[in-house]
Amino acid sequence: MMFRHSSNHRSVTTAPWQLVCGLALGIASGLAGCGTGPKAEFSYREATQKLIPVARKAIKDTLEDGFGTPHNLVAWERFPVAYGGAKASVVAAAEGVQPASKTISVSVEGDVSKLVSGASVLWLTGTRAGEKAAADTVDTYDTKTKTLTWSGSAEPAPGVGDVLIVGFGHALQKGRAVYMKNCMHCHGVSGDGNGSTAQFLNPRPRDYRLGVFKFTSTLSAEKVSRDDLHRVVKYGIPGTYMPSFLLLGEEETKSVVEYVRWLAMRGEFEKRTDDDLGDFTEDSIVDTVKKSKTAFDAAKVAYDATLKAGDKDAVKPDAPIKLTDARKSATEAFAKFQASDLDQAVEDTASFLAEAWTRADDEASRIAPTVPRVADDAASRERGRLLYMSDKTKCYTCHGLLGKGNGAATEDFWKKPGTEELYPRRGLHDAWGNPLQPRNLTLGQYRGGRRPVDVFRRLYAGIKGTPMPGFGKTALKDEEIWDIVNFVMSLQYQSPQPAKTNAGGHVVATDMPEAK
């Protein structure tokens, strides 16, 4: 466990997670060698791996600096993660003992039980703050007299009013333990949705590294809130392999939510930094060389032609850029960039993420209907059905005329976002590139929760990372959204009306709104 305080980094504690091997398993795999599992490592994005070596190294260093490794987490203070620990401030230095004793009396806000022998002590302000007091730990804490002694150097002595955190990073470490035990085998060590069981699952486990979560209560531009993640961990996502962890307990759930948020921040930080360094990829170098070669070839043809024509003054075209030279110049350009702009880019990304994740928990980011649910009667459902069929929402194009999730859009080939390339498969895809089935609304299965407000929020802000758009504020009024909610939630209980047929068995009327 490390702590990152602006530019000061300091080690707090290290508690490597180890895979404990069960007795039965130990006997079964005794020959294969069992004991500790493979060392947990954070993986890097494909985009990171494609960068030129210097850029790749810069990103990996930045990530390790800011987030550490699974065995040695770094808590980057500027990210809005509840890293845990009990905050205390110095009330008085103990008197009478000279030279400077390592005893202070403190007032503790928060959990006093964190003040156990061996817990880390982190000085936030005062003379001890910073690099020097790196190895301070609690020696003893007397709950009656509220005096704390620390082990570590005695000098410099802390002053009255200095703030310290005991057991900093406790929550993140706990989150890691819970995550490794319950989540890692699907969501992966890095939260890349690529754990060992992930390959057997459809839908795939969430890859947190885009910083995008589907089922949120927040506006469409906002991140997921803590409450949303908490709900998902507690109640699971029906229709997927995400089970309910209701009996995990409040503290463990909270800490694992923090850890998941932290992994998401790490992942998105990497992605955004990758995007910043998009020019320094191996591919772009090869591309430059290729282009230069093509340009040279064209110029060469022209040159030869002019020579043949007897023009002695023709200018010989410049030789094409060699791959080695291109690499060299890219490396030089990166060195320049690293010296001048990289820190700022990292800084910008970090502050962008910190703000976005802080905003997610703001009351203002949460979608709250401005009107209560419209009475769920036949009239409302009918209004909802007409809206569902209207060109204003186009719900039916994906979810189908009968809400079975088989709309025409599922038969089309769709473009990969940002490219002209088509997905190899028909149908919709999500932001992670996985095939996506529009929800069959007749099953009564609500992945984001079955409360009316949940369905309202899906319609208001859409589902992040998917083609499901949001209609709130712009296309639909809250009352209209409620009408659609009433219609959609009634679908489960309606048997599709048998089409009226005439004597010959031909359909004479369909359940469609009149064309306007």
Partner 1 sequence: MGKLWSLFFVFSAVIAVALCWFAPDWNWWFPGDGKAHSTLGGKIDDLFHLILIIVAVTFIGTQAALGYVLWRGATIKPEEKALFSHGSHSLEVIWTIVPSAVLLFIALYQLDVWAQFRIKGAIRDSHGKMVRPEPVAELTARQFEWRIRYPAKGKPLQPKPQPDDIYSVNELHIPSGRPVEVTLRTDDVQHAIFIPELRIKQDAVASLKIPVWFDALDNRDYEMLCAELCGWGHYKMKAKVVARSDEDFDAWKEQASAEQFDDGFRKPVEAK
Question: In 3-state terms, what secondary structure has residue 332?
Answer: helix
d(Cα 150, Cα 165) in Å, to the nearest integer?
12
Which of residues 9, 293, 300, 450 is near partner 1 by CB under 8 A? 450
Q: How many residues bind partner 1 (CB under 8 A)?
A: 31
> What track of x and - describes contact with partner 1 for positions 159 through 198 (by CB under 8 A)?
-----------------------x--x-----------x-
CB of 241 to partner 1, least distance (A): 7
Work out how close the CB of 451 gets to partner 1 at its nearest, in angstroms, rounded to a whole number.
5
**Are the beta carbons of 104 and 141 closer than 8 angstroms?**
no
Q: What is the DSSP letter of 414?
A: E
Minimum gap (Å) between residue 487 Cβ and partner 1: 13
Q: Is 286 in the site for partner 1 (CB under 8 A)?
A: no
Binding segment for partner 1 (CB under 8 A), chosen from 161-169, 311-319, 338-346, 371-379, is 371-379
Q: Is the dihedral of CA 234, 236, 241, 243 positive or negative?
A: positive
Per-residue x/- track, 232-261, partner 1 (CB under 8 A): ---xx-x--x-xxxxx--------------
Report the alpha-carbon distance of residue 122 to residue 7 in Å, rounded: 15
Q: Token digits for 57? A: 């190294």
Binding mask 54-93 for partner 1 (x = CB under 8 A): ----------------------------------------
Q: Which stretch binds partner 1 (CB under 8 A): 353-361, 378-386, 451-459, 467-475?
A: 451-459
Secondary structure (3-state) at 18: coil
Under rule CB under 8 A, residue 457 binds partner 1 = yes
Nearer to partner 1, 227 or 325 (CB): 227
Task: Pick the binder of partner 1 from 49, 338, 406, 490 (CB under 8 A).
Answer: 490
| Residues 6+ positions from 323 with CB-CB distance below 8 Å | 285, 286, 289
Burial grade of 263 (CB within 10 A; 0-12, 13-18, 19 or more): buried
DSSP class of residue 254 equals H
Amino acid identity for residue 429 in this structure: H
> Is 161 within 8 Å of 90 (Cβ atoms)?
yes
Compute the least distance from the CB of residue 471 to partner 1, in Å: 16
Measured from the CB of residue 54, what is the shortest distance to partner 1 in angstroms? 42
**Measuring CA to CA, which residue among 291, 346, 295 is closest to residue 323?**
291
- Region from 85-93, 165-173, 396-404, 490-498 binding partner 1, contact rule CB under 8 A: 490-498
Query: In 3-state terms, what secondary structure has residue 149?
Result: strand
Residue 507 DSSP SS3 = strand
Amino acid code (one letter) for 222: E
Q: How far is the CB of 415 from partner 1 (least distance, A)?
A: 35
Q: Point out which residues bind partner 1 (CB under 8 A).
A: 182, 185, 197, 235-236, 238, 241, 243-247, 367-373, 444, 450-453, 456-457, 482, 489-490, 492-493
